[in-house]
Structure 1
Amino acid sequence: MFTGIIESTGILKSIEEVGGDVRLTIESNNLDFSDVKLGDSIASNGICLTVIDMTDNSYAVDVSRETLAKTTMKHWQPGDTLNLEKAMLPTTRFGGHMVSGHVDDVGVIKVMREDARSIYIEIAIPDALKKYAATKGSITVDGISLTTNLVKDNIVCLNIIPHTAEVTNIGRHWQVDGEVNIEVDLIARYLERLNSLS
């Protein structure tokens, strides 16, 4: 479980094919690895990945074909900057919202422009996900917990404050027509499931 509050960014160092799947190595000189052990989870651009090998400043993960098909990872290249968050602890401040790290699908950035000191962004999400998006609700984009300003059909409107833009990959990689990982609000997903059973 994660909060969507990005702890650091990292660089994708390598992509290796292993038996039909993929192994990634991600490096970060800013993420504290002192409490990370093999088997722990680190969300990388919002994707919950299991650490299978590590050094003092990097970790390796195996990725299934399902994850490749459902996320932006299929477009990643060595040198890309990724948003990183270690799994939360019971003592962690809950600064964002409940994030599972299980990406639902990919959205497309349609508008990105300055709005005073913030960045205004509109993201088109798949039609199947729009029922989970609500004005002033929560959504996770590339692992970042964000509040929706407004939802118009399948368009989610967001404002990114300067701090968030500076400590994530938004200013470096996000652009119009670019794809981003989307995870809808966990509570909304379970409420919808409960309603379908009643």
Structure 2
Amino acid sequence: MFTGIVETIGEITDLTQDAENLHIKVKSSLTPELKIDQSVAHNGVCLTVVALDGDEYVVTAIQETLDKSNLGELAVGSSVNLERAMKLGDRLDGHIVQGHVDQKGTCLAVTSMDGSWVFTFQYDPSFGNVTIEKGSITVNGVSLTVVNSKEREFSVAIIPYTYEHTTFHAIKAGTTVNLEFDVVGKYLKRLSQGYF
């Protein structure tokens, strides 16, 4: 379980294909605090630490993960948003994030707003996901509030701190992102479909 509050940015230092799996080596300031079998969110995708080596660690993404996320588009030198699993009893500064990406989305536009930015994303509604005005959404692992909800797109407002301390500064029109829709909203939609 995560909160969507990114702790740091990691750098991809190696990518190794092994059948359908992708072994991802990440250099991060968090590495000394990690343990084998620990969960870490990478651009919002929960992956298990399988190896540690100095200031680098390795996680493995299976084909299902690569199909539903942007991790298959990573290259050596790419940056990823990182968050360790939340501790029970800590403040929940973001929202409840599972680290299970629902689908990919595409950035349609980035608008500068005199000190902040509005990012607009499009997604495929056939997966059954929805956003609501002032509801929660996770984009590349960052917990955000929806400011403009439409059937197949939404916008989020980004403050300077988030822009500078996450990979949002690298997102532009056409960039593929990972989307995790609000878990409460997903359950409510599923329950209402069963009754109507």
TM-score if structure 2 supplies the norm length?
0.94
CA-atom RMSD in angstroms: 1.4
- The aligned residue for residue 15 of structure 1 is 15
- Which amino acid is 2:4 matched to? G
* Structure 2: stretches of 5+ with no match in the other structure: none
Equivalent residue runs for 1:13-162 within 5 Å: 13-29=13-29, 31=30, 33-34=32-33, 36-128=34-126, 131-162=129-160
| Paired residues of 1:129 and 1:184 also in contact (CA < 8 A) | no
- For the residues of structure 2 that align with 1:197 and 1:161, how far apart are their CA atoms? 39
Q: Secondary structure at the match of 1:148?
A: strand
| Paired residues of 1:44 and 1:84 also in contact (CA < 8 A) | yes
| Paired residues of 1:4 and 1:144 also in contact (CA < 8 A) | yes
- Which amino acid is 1:148 matched to? V
Q: String of CA shifts for 1:13-72, please: whole Å, max 9, x gaps.
A: 11001233111101113x2632x2111100000000000011342210111111111111
| Paired residues of 1:2 and 1:85 also in contact (CA < 8 A) | yes
* Number of residue-to-residue matches in the alignment: 195
TM-superposed CA distance for 1:197, in Å, is 3.5
TM-score if structure 1 supplies the norm length?
0.93
Q: String of CA shifts for 1:143-181, please: whole Å, max 9, x gaps.
A: 00000111122111111000001110111x201011100
Equivalent residue runs for 1:158-169 within 5 Å: 158-169=156-167
- Which amino acid is 1:78 matched to? V
- For the residues of structure 2 that align with 1:4 and 1:58, how far apart are their CA atoms? 22
TM-superposed CA distance for 1:110, in Å, is 0.5
| Paired residues of 2:106 and 2:177 also in contact (CA < 8 A) | yes
- Which amino acid is 1:25 matched to? K
- For the residues of structure 2 that align with 1:156 and 1:130, how far apart are their CA atoms? 15
Compared CA separation, residues 145 and 49, structure 1 to 2 (3 A): same
